[in-house]
């Protein structure tokens, strides 16, 4: 019976496939195979023995049910894995399975393969979402809207700026994934305390040969485990990605509020239901789900940090945590990346509301421009600030148009004409360097992937 929502509600087939039991078993078998091949190359075990182990180290021969049955008796997963391979090897080759290795050589190296595979999937999604944002930035470069600071109307901006900002951040997340891959996806074959003692003087050669066979960098030094600061970086990167998706979804949710309603999720009126009791509701459920699941991903950072300090050379407190943390953080991050791609691909714009909100404050948002133009015309900046502030407060209190009120000020009349003020008060022309900023970003983005 399914219990966890990942089993039936959340996650994509491509990421779940990486972390399912059968594939995890295969990745551990891949490490045992690489160990045997390395030992065969260096003459530590007979070549024909190495070939036999390598040929049988796959789930065609080593069955998950059998390994689990052995583990139920031994209460040790890697001992069960080793016995499972031994049972299917012929001509005594099974006697050499797992020679010179300790359990975490298999666990950490196989986790490196699983994380590398996960990063491949995540990078593809981050790249896809980044390109969607870049397209939206170009399409909406000069779609002027109100910018908000502290939840208050501030100055005009454009939707192109929002999307370009998110594209730039997503590209940084892609680079963080690349950096995490380089640090966390390493191979090790170093024995009980990292000294390779069981393999003698050939131990370090075996360590590096296993890494080469697995196409992974060799860990520089271990003490039975790859140091967990690397895994902290990976989990923190996933949490960082989740925070970006949370930010994007939160903004869409806020902009879809009834009283704002500038952009929103696509809603299928023929099929979709917003509420079980309120027939009129069209809720931002995709964005809300992104925000909710992001909280779970972010919560794993503390667990990852706590896995770094272990007793002496190591203990087992990290193991149970990582059995949950690695698959869940990867599956859920991938899932909300998919949701965000869906959200942004189907975003709906309400242009009339964008324009309404831009003019909602009767010109108060142009106060900065008024002050700047008065200063350019010869009035002192501090004086200009005080005059505009006084008139802005009055316009706000009495619900007057700031442009009309400012023209009644005798001091202002010395510097600005009615035509000047009319031009100044147009929010569509107060966009600064937006076009240059976005164009430069779009040009730079051609070298991102």
Domain 103-264+278-357 has what CATH class? mainly alpha
CA angle (96 as vertex; 90, 99 as ends), nearest 5 = 155
Using CB atoms within 10 A of its CB, is residue 288 exposed (0-12), middle (13-18) or buried (19+)? middle
Specify burial of residue 299 (Cβ count, 10 A radius: 0-12, 13-18, 19+).
middle
Tell me which of 76, 179, 275, 428 is the catalytic residue: 275
- pLDDT over 90 (residue 366): yes
Element containing residue 351 per DSSP (H, E): helix 351-358
pLDDT over threshold 70, residue 77: yes
Does the pLDDT value for residue 317 go beyond 80?
yes
pLDDT for 1 equals: 86
Residue 400: count of CB within 10 angstroms of its CB: 16
Q: Is the pLDDT of residue 277 over 60?
A: no
Catalytic entry in 150, 312, 320, 433: 150
Is the pLDDT confidence value at 281 over 70? no
Given this model, what pLDDT does residue 284 score? 83
3-class secondary-structure state, position 141: coil
- Please, where in the chain does CATH 1.10.40.30 lie? 364-424
Report the alpha-carbon distance of residue 41 to residue 45 in Å, rounded.
8
C-alpha span between 378 and 335 (Å, rounded): 57
Answer yes or no: is pLDDT of 266 > 90: no
150 is catalytic: yes
- Rounded distance between C-alpha atoms, residue 394 and residue 388, angstroms: 10
DSSP, collapsed to helix, strand or coil, labels residue 110 as helix
Burial of 2 (0-12, 13-18, 19+ CB in 10 A): exposed
CB neighbours of residue 364 within 10 Å = 17
Percent of the chain with pLDDT over 70: 97
Phi (first) and psi of residue 44, to 5 degrees: -75, -35
- CATH node for 364-424: 1.10.40.30
Confidence of residue 374 (pLDDT cuts 50, 70, 90): very high
User: Which residues contact residue 127 at a Cβ distance below 8 angstroms, ignoring those fewer than 6 apart?
Assistant: 174, 449
Cα gap 38→53, rounded to integer Å = 12
* SS3 of residue 113 by DSSP: helix
The CATH 1.10.275.10 portion of the chain extends over 14-96
Vertex 119: Cα angle to 12 and 167 (nearest 5): 85
Phi first, then psi: give them for residue 394, nearest 5 degrees.
-65, -40
DSSP 31-50: HHHHHHHHHHHTTSS-HHHH
CA distance 22 to 62: 10
Helix/strand/coil percentages in the chain, nearest 5: 65, 5, 30
- Which string of DSSP letters, residue by residue, matches 267-310? --TTT--S-SS-TT----HHHHHHHHHHHHHHHHHHHHHHTSS-
pTM exceeding 0.85:
yes
User: For residue 398, is pLDDT > 70?
Assistant: yes
**What is the tens place of the pLDDT at every residue in 157-192?**
999 999 999 999 999 999 999 999 999 999 999 999
The third-level CATH classification (topology) of the domain covering 14-96 is Fumarase C; Chain B, domain 1 (1.10.275)
Structure tokens at 373: 């133009």
Q: How far apart are the first and last CA of the chain?
A: 43
Among residues 137, 151, 158, which one has the least CA distance to residue 432? 158
Stretch(es) of the chain classified as CATH 1.20.200.10: 103-264+278-357
């Amino acid at each position: 019976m399914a219990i966890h929502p990942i089993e039936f509600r959340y996650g994509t087939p491509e990421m779940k496939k990486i972390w399912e039991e059968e594939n995890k078993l295969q990745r551990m078998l891949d490490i045992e195979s690489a160990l045997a091949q390395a030992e065969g190359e260096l003459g530590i075990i007979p070549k024909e023995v190495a070939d036999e182990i390598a040929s049988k180290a796959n789930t065609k021969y080593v069955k998950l049910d059998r390994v689990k049955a052995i583990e139920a008796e031994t209460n040790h997963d890697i001992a069960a894995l080793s016995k499972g391979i031994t049972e299917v090897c012929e001509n005594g080759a099974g006697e050499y399975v797992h020679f010179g290795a300790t359990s975490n050589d298999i666990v950490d190296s196989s986790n490196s393969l699983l994380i590398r595979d996960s990063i491949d999937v995540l990078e593809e999604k981050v790249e896809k979402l980044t390109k969607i944002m870049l397209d939206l930035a170009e399409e909406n470069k000069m779609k002027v809207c109100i910018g908000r600071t502290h939840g208050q109307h501030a100055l005009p901006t454009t939707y192109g700026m929002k999307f370009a900002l998110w594209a730039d951040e997503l590209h940084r997340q892609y680079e963080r994934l690349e950096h995490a891959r380089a640090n966390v996806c390493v191979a090790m074959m170093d024995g009980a305390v990292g000294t390779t003692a069981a393999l003698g003087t050939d131990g370090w050669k075996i360590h590096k040969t296993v890494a080469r066979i697995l196409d992974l960098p060799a860990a520089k030094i271990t003490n039975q485990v790859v140091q967990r600061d690397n895994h902290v970086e990976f989990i923190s990167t996933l949490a960082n990605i989740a925070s970006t998706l949370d930010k994007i979804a939160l903004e869409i949710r806020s902009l879809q509020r009834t009283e704002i309603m500038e952009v929103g999720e696509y809603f299928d009126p023929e099929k979709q239901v917003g509420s079980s009791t309120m027939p009129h509701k069209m809720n931002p459920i995709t964005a809300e789900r992104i925000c909710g699941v992001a909280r779970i991903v972010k919560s794993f950072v503390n667990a990852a940090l706590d896995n770094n300090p272990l007793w002496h050379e190591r203990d087992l407190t990290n193991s149970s945590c990582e059995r949950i943390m690695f698959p869940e953080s990867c599956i859920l991050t991938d899932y909300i990346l998919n949701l965000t791609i869906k959200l942004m691909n189907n975003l709906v714009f309400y242009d009339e509301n964008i324009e309404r909100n831009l003019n909602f404050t009767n010109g108060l948002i142009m106060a900065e421009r008024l002050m700047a133009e008065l200063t350019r015309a010869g009035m002192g900046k501090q004086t200009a600030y005080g005059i505009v502030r006084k008139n802005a407060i009055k316009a706000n209190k009495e619900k007057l148009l700031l442009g009309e009120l400012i023209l009644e000020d005798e001091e202002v009349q010395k510097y600005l004409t009615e035509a000047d003020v009319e031009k100044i008060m147009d929010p569509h022309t107060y966009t600064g360097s937006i076009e240059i900023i976005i164009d430069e970003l779009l040009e730079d983005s051609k070298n991102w992937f």
